[in-house]
Structure 1
Amino acid sequence: MLGRLISFLTGGFLGRILDTVDHAIEAETDREKIKGDIIREHYRNRADWMRAGGFWLCLLFALPLAFWFGAVVVYSVFWCAGCAFPQPWTIAALPPPLDDWAGAIIVSIFGVIGVTRFSKGA
């Protein structure tokens, strides 16, 4: 009887507030679940793309980068100004956008391959 009286006096206001809070919590939980599903599907699609031949496309970008990095390492060991066989020439640094992209290329290739091989081993 007291509950009906309070409900009558407040016009069900408290009930509506509590229902709104419950719906907000459920919506937030559903939103986080959807975000997790999207991230999981993205990684699954990325691994499938690598298995379907994307690896060769990645090598198209990685091989010139590996050649440049190898040239820098060999020059730094053997032909730099204070090394065993000093030379007057140097190897040029990558231009500004490519020096940032080089790290992203390596992480995108080896990161996906590492995750794929790790998941197969588990």
Structure 2
Amino acid sequence: MLAMLLKWVASGPLDRVLTSLDKSIDNETERQRIAGDVIARYVTTEAETRAAAMQSRTFWIIWALFAAPVGIWLGAICLDSVFLFSGQIADLPPSVKPYASQIIAAVFGSGGGVAGIQAIATALRGKK
């Protein structure tokens, strides 16, 4: 009698509950996979858009209009701090400072990245 009751519970209601849970987990996994695919497509599209924009001469002209003054300002600060010219160079306004920091990081980051890759390539070529 007990075996028959356990068999009924395991094959009927319990089986339906477990099947329902299994489908729910599968649906959640599918939703996460779809969200991951959408994010991957967005990142790929954004990277392609930026790469296409960087091929334009206008992009580099506008970028230089911002980067050149920031570079001159940073150079003036470095020269003033090393040689103590007491030029009392003012800090950038808070509204411009985040953009200037990004420009400096981009210039030195890309230059450092290229130098690092060239050093690795030279080391690999030297081993052969």
TM-score above 0.5, yes or no: yes
Unaligned runs of 5+ in 1: 81-85
Counterpart check, 1:46 vs 2:44 = no
Alignment of 1:1-122 (within 5 A): 8-9=12-13, 12-53=16-57, 54-78=59-83, 80=84, 87=86, 89-108=87-106
Write out per-residue CA displacement over residues 27-68 of structure 1, whole angstroms, 9 at most, x where no aligned residue: 112211221221122122112111123122111111110111
Coordinate RMSD, CA, aligned = 3.1
In the alignment, the residues of structure 1 paired with residue 31 and residue 81 of structure 2 have an alpha-carbon distance, to the nearest angstrom, of 57
In the alignment, the residues of structure 2 paired with residue 41 and residue 110 of structure 1 have an alpha-carbon distance, to the nearest angstrom, of 26
Larger RCO: 1 or 2 (CA < 8 Å, sep 6+): 1
Unaligned runs of 5+ in 2: 1-7, 118-128
Aligned residue pairs, count: 106
> Which SS does the other structure have where 1:23 is aligned?
helix
TM-score relative to the length of structure 1: 0.65
Query: What is the identity, as a one-letter code, of the residue corresponding to 2:64?
Result: L
TM-score relative to the length of structure 2: 0.63
Cα shift at 1:74: 2.3
In the alignment, the residues of structure 1 paired with residue 63 and residue 36 of structure 2 have an alpha-carbon distance, to the nearest angstrom, of 32
Structure 1 range deviating more: 48-57 or 60-69 = 48-57
In the alignment, the residues of structure 1 paired with residue 107 and residue 82 of structure 2 have an alpha-carbon distance, to the nearest angstrom, of 27
Identity across matched positions, percent: 28
Structure 1 range deviating more: 59-68 or 29-38 = 29-38
